[in-house]
Structure 1
Amino acid sequence: MIPDVIIREEGPGDRSAILRLLETSALPTADLSEVPGLRDDAEPSFVLAVRDDTLAGCAALERAGDAGLLRSVAVRKDERGAGIGERLVRERIASAETRGMQAIYLLTETAPAWFERFGFQTIDRSEAPDEVKASKEFSALCGETATLMVRRADG
């Protein structure tokens, strides 16, 4: 475990810090007002890694039918390599399992090998379920060159 890093669900005052981290990590933010957790009326979908009251990392899980879409996994540059991203992804996987999601999908431009350690496998974009294809992350924000990966509930 990483000392001094707390993993917690997002709260009402976290929105601007999440957006700043995603922007500095070159991750999409255009649709985040639609993502549960960044809307005032929604359940949290982000978990945060916080050290000394400062956001060190984040990861989100969107429901897409009976599956989940893992997105917005980011760790502050000066915090990378300390296992924060791993803790965040493992927490989102556990959340998906608790919520009965049958699979978790993700799109990545740069990190397919990193996500393989969690049991994600590359699949063709045509294999995504319609609910995942309907997400703005899939249909508009991540280019055709983004790798689609899946982790099945039994995986």
Structure 2
Amino acid sequence: MSAAADFRRGGEPDLESVRALLQACGLAADDLGPDLMPAFRLYRRGQELLACGAMEYRQQAALLRSLAVRPEARGTGLAKALVGRLEAEAAQDGITDVYLLTTTARDWFAARGYSVAPRSQAPAGIAAHAQFRSTCPSSAVLMHKRLPPLA
């Protein structure tokens, strides 16, 4: 999978396929609605959704969420390319700090520059998000990455 993978912006018609992929990967989809779909980037092979992820902006910070890759597409670099795309778009939009919650991918995100942060130090916009308050379990680890400035 190349970093130039063809990710497209999600839309309302993608809601059910995104929900299904998240649920198949054991991720919460309860707070998804049509209004959130434009925050998603999707990768499809034909009509099949292979990967998705979203970046929700909260003032100068963003929440990376709902990163999912079908099991048969894992190990291809698709998740790495997707996260890179979301981070690049966030940096272009002036976002300086990205946060995420994970119960299973701590090491994967650490290898990509994220570090564990105390949940008590989450910015107000992140701490107020449904993912932080109720959707993700309290055992989920908060991770943070400072995006490099654009050249």
Q: What TM-score do you get using the length of structure 2 for normalisation?
A: 0.91
Give the one of 35, 60, 65 matched to 2:59. 65
Q: Identify the residue that residue 118 of structure 1 maps to in structure 2.
A: 112
Give ranges in structure 2 of 5+ residues lacking alignment.
none
Give the one of 58, 64, 75 matched to 2:69. 75
Aligned-partner residue type, residue 120 of structure 1: Y
Tell me, what secondary structure is at the counterpart of 1:59?
A: strand
Shift of 1:52: 2.1
1:37 corresponds to 2:33? no
Alignment of 1:96-107 (within 5 A): 96-107=90-101
1:15 corresponds to 2:15? yes
Contact 2:12 2:35 in 1 (8 A): no
The structure, 1 or 2, with the larger RCO (C-alpha pairs under 8 Å, 6+ apart) is 2
Shift of 1:11: 2.9
Tell me, what secondary structure is at the counterpart of 1:151?
A: strand
Aligned-partner residue type, residue 23 of structure 2: E
Query: How far apart, in 2, do the equivalents of 1:86 and 1:50 lie?
Result: 16
Percent identity of the aligned residues? 36
Q: Deviations over 1:45-77 (max 9, x none)?
A: 000111123110000001112100000000011
Alignment of 1:134-149 (within 5 A): 134-149=128-143
Q: What TM-score do you get using the length of structure 1 for normalisation?
A: 0.89
Shift of 1:31: 1.0
Contact 1:47 1:60 in 2 (8 A): yes
Give the one of 116, 122, 125 matched to 1:128. 122
Give ranges in structure 1 of 5+ residues lacking alignment.
39-43
Q: CA RMSD in A?
A: 1.8
Deviating runs (4+, > 4 A) in structure 1?
none
Contact 1:49 1:55 in 2 (8 A): yes
Query: How far apart, in 1, do the equivalents of 2:131 and 2:50 lie?
Result: 23
Length, aligned pairs only? 148
Contact 1:6 1:51 in 2 (8 A): no
Shift of 1:14: 1.3
Q: Identify the residue that residue 24 of structure 2 maps to in structure 1.
A: 24
